[in-house]
Structure 1
């Protein structure tokens, strides 16, 4: 499954201002709730339950919070570039400024671990990460996340 299949241009947030991890996850849950028509608390509770199993802060300033959601009929992604890095309990203990928020249908038969891996590979690419941090143009951010290197 390609990132472009579940990340819309309208779900790119070029400047998200949050003071901490909880506020960022709550804001992203609210935005997903509006887009999907699923209660914000359902999304937030699933995301925070997953975070309790271990932080999704993967290091290098990047986090990939994700959860399976009952009633969701398709994968759904949001990408946020934070206005200021925040602590996220990341593996390398560095603050996070890039967040890819992924919701997965609870009934999905797609191996979502491969989807998580493809997102992580994309954002951990040093050139892509650098370019994501240098622009606040939603179209450019979307292209960096969803296009082949030759297309950006």
Structure 2
């Protein structure tokens, strides 16, 4: 499964308004809730519970909040971007600008790990990250990710 297969265009937010971790998680969860029939409150709860285990801010301006839900059948990926950056308790203590949110079925550990790995690999590419930062609309973000996955 590719990231593009589960990335929802309606859950691509290019102008996150929040300035803290919980706010970003709430914004992304709201976008996913609107397209998935999953309660925003449940999404926020599982994502914040995961954050208590350790920040999903992986450094270099990137965070990948993720969680598992029992009552879903398919993975969902959302994307968020903050031009100003958000204090996300990242391992390098730098503000995060790029956010990928991953929600997978509780029974699909391999899908969960696969998506995390794919996103982490993509984000190691500086050109890819620069394109995500400079994209103008959700369609462009979607195309950047699709093109990267097709060519690498």
Scaled by the length of structure 1, the TM-score of the pair is 0.92
Equivalents in 2 of 1:5, 1:150: separation in Å?
A: 12
Give the match for residue 137 of structure 2. Answer: 137
> How far apart in 1 are the matches of 2:37 and 2:133?
30
Residues 70-128 of structure 1 deviation map (CA, whole Å, 9 limit, x = unaligned): 21110001101113201111111100010001101112253421220111111221110
Rounded to whole Å, the distance in 2 between the matches of 1:109 and 1:115 is 10
Partner secondary structure for residue 82 of structure 2: strand
Q: 2:24 maps to which residue?
A: 24
Spell out structure 1 runs of 4+ moving beyond 6 A: none
Q: Is this contact kept in 2: 1:61–1:96, CA < 8 A?
A: yes
Q: Which residue of 2 aligns with 1:99?
A: 99
Provide the rounded CA distance (Å) in 1 between the counterparts of 2:41 and 2:96. 23
| Matched residue, 2:115 | 115
Unaligned 5+ residue runs, structure 2? none
CA separation of 1:32/1:8 partners in 2, compared to 1, >3 Å: closer, same or farther? closer
Range 78-87 or range 104-113, more displaced = 104-113
Matched pairs, number: 151
Counterpart residue number, 2:6: 6
**How high is the TM-score relative to the length of structure 2?**
0.92
Partners of 2:84 and 2:97 within 8 A in 1: yes
Q: Which 5+ residue runs of structure 1 have no aligned equivalent?
A: none
Tell me the alpha carbon deviations over residues 25-82 of structure 1, each in whole angstroms, 9 at most, x when there is no partner.
1111122111111111111110001001000001110100000012111000110111
Query: Cα RMSD between the aligned structures?
Result: 1.6
